[in-house]
Amino acid sequence: MTKGITVLLVALACAPARPEPTLAISNVTIVDVAAGRTIPDRTVTIAGRHIVSVSDAAATVPQGIDVVDGRGKYLMPGLWDMHVHLDSADLPALVALGITGARDMGGDLEELLAWRGRIAAGDLTGPRLVIAGPALRGPRSPSDSGPWVIRWPWQGIAAVDSLAARHVDFIKIHEGIFDDAYRDIAVQAKLRHLPFAGHVPAGVGVGEAAEVGQRSIEHLEFVPDACLGRFAERSPSAAPLPAQCDEATFDSLLGVLAGHHTWLCPTIGSFRIFAPKQFPAIFAGFKDLMPLLQAHHIDLLAGTDLGSRGIIPGVSLHDELALLVDAGLTPAEALRTATLNPARFLGATDSLGTIEPGKIADLVLLAADPLADIHNTRSIVAVIRAGKVQPPRPLHSP
């Protein structure tokens, strides 16, 4: 026996055994969110937490495994809510309504880490979590203090170092931080290999936030404060918007965001709760901006600001997707804001965002085609989280 053959046999003997299939969804139509199309008559086979094959429906399903009949149904990737503030009761509710991932934008770090550990161990039903822990903010009064209240640059640096040591996934910026401290937070976060995201403090320009590397801007804070009249009801007698808010200047600002690949998470549905009387004007202003956002290929993330009173876990994300379609996105584009785009944003397209072999089996089985009507994301038949079928629950809009 030659040395080469001996080495090959040893390598084969030491190679890990291919995991045995545990679940199949047969005869299903796959929702290809990347291409914006459906692929009929497929069988998706899962082993443990991962998809191992996506084959023709005529392919033989391994005997002895659980089979979900997908005939007449649609299989899409699990959804992400990219702006939440979680409570423990939210965790199973999100999964039951198809949200298999969530980005927590500010909460109790000890609780979040504990939940994430229990979810990973299988002791708690919940989405996979991306967490910031406490948000960094400016002082709200002369006596306001604490490790996350930032008055001076050195405090921002220390806060980033402290959170990095606790292995957070990113740094959350809130209001009231002065420009010099904000810039030092940005530098320190980069040194610690942590993205930072959140609000744009009043003393910091939107363009400046993009230039120093803020990964995402939340709510409608990509619009400068001087231009918030875009979201007010306009009357013939209303004063004109400032010159810096004209279309050419705003178009130039969006070009800066696009050039630095700054993501936007508008949480447009949250304004229905925060400003119900003004919501029609706010939504109309957002809708007017959508052609400009699309022209600059600005990437959007679906988020809800769950954690605020009146925002319902899970339901609010389905509402957000419908609002994005009402604002001008196609159903496929809206779906991407909660599936493929979060995977891209998180650098996780190797494991999340689409239905392909090797990816984590976070999936939602639907009774109707979400590409034909975005409201069909609500027609949940089953949710599969990390390869395990979860019991669904009825979904109703508020």
3-state secondary structure 237-256: CCCCCCHHHCHHHHHHHHHH
User: CB within 8 A of 386, min separation 6: which ones?
Assistant: 49, 128, 360, 361, 362
Contact status, residue 84 vs residue 105, Cβ threshold 8 Å: yes
Which amino acid appears at position 367 of this protein?
A
**Orientation angle between helical segments 279-295 and 315-326, nearest 10 degrees:** 70
Using DSSP's 3-state secondary structure scheme, residue 126 falls into coil
Average pLDDT, the chain: 92
Eight-state DSSP code of residue 151: S
Rounded Cα distance between 36 and 59, Å, is 25
Give the pLDDT confidence score for residue 9 in this predicted structure: 43
Give the pLDDT confidence score for residue 195 in this predicted structure: 98
Rounded Cα distance between 279 and 268, Å, is 9
Rounded Cα distance between 302 and 289, Å, is 17
Phi first, then psi: give them for residue 382, nearest 5 degrees.
-155, 150
Residue 239, pLDDT above cutoff 90: no
Contact status, residue 332 vs residue 341, Cβ threshold 8 Å: no
Number of Cβ within 10 Å of residue 305's Cβ equals 22
Give the pLDDT confidence score for residue 2 in this predicted structure: 53
pTM: 0.93
Give the tokens for residue 343: 């995977």
Rounded Cα distance between 123 and 265, Å, is 31
Percentage of residues in the chain with pLDDT exceeding 90? 81
Longest C-alpha distance within the chain, in Å? 93
Which amino acid appears at position 285 of this protein?
G
Interval 353-388: pLDDT, tens: 999 999 999 999 999 999 999 999 999 999 999 999
Rounded Cα distance between 84 and 107, Å, is 9
Interval 202-222: pLDDT, tens: 889 999 999 999 999 999 999
Contact status, residue 129 vs residue 109, Cβ threshold 8 Å: no
Mean pLDDT (whole number) for 160-186: 96
Rounded Cα distance between 59 and 74, Å, is 18
The continuous run of DSSP H or E covering 292 comes out as: helix 279-295
Mean pLDDT (whole number) for 170-184: 95
Exposure of 132 in the CB half-sphere (CA atoms within 13 A):
27
User: CB within 8 A of 112, min separation 6: which ones?
Assistant: 86, 104, 129, 131, 133
Segment among 274-283, 323-332, 387-396 with least mean pLDDT: 387-396
Residue 13, pLDDT above cutoff 70: no
**Helices then strands (H, E): number in the chain?**
12, 15
Give the pLDDT confidence score for residue 233 in this predicted structure: 80
Residue 246, pLDDT above cutoff 90: no
Residue 238, pLDDT above cutoff 90: no
Residue 83: which of 270, 289, 238 has the closest Cα?
Answer: 270
Which amino acid appears at position 240 of this protein?
P
Interval 314-346: pLDDT, tens: 999 999 999 999 999 999 999 999 999 999 999
Interval 111-148: pLDDT, tens: 999 999 999 999 999 999 999 999 999 998 888 888 89
Give the pLDDT confidence score for residue 11 in this predicted structure: 46
Give the pLDDT confidence score for residue 3 in this predicted structure: 52
Residue 105: which of 218, 188, 26, 207 has the closest Cα?
Answer: 218
Q: Model confidence at 255, in pLDDT bands (50, 70, 90)?
A: very high
Give the pLDDT confidence score for residue 397 in this predicted structure: 45
Residue 16, pLDDT above cutoff 80: no
Q: Model confidence at 398, in pLDDT bands (50, 70, 90)?
A: very low
Interval 58-113: pLDDT, tens: 888 888 899 999 999 999 999 999 999 999 999 999 999 999 999 999 999 999 99
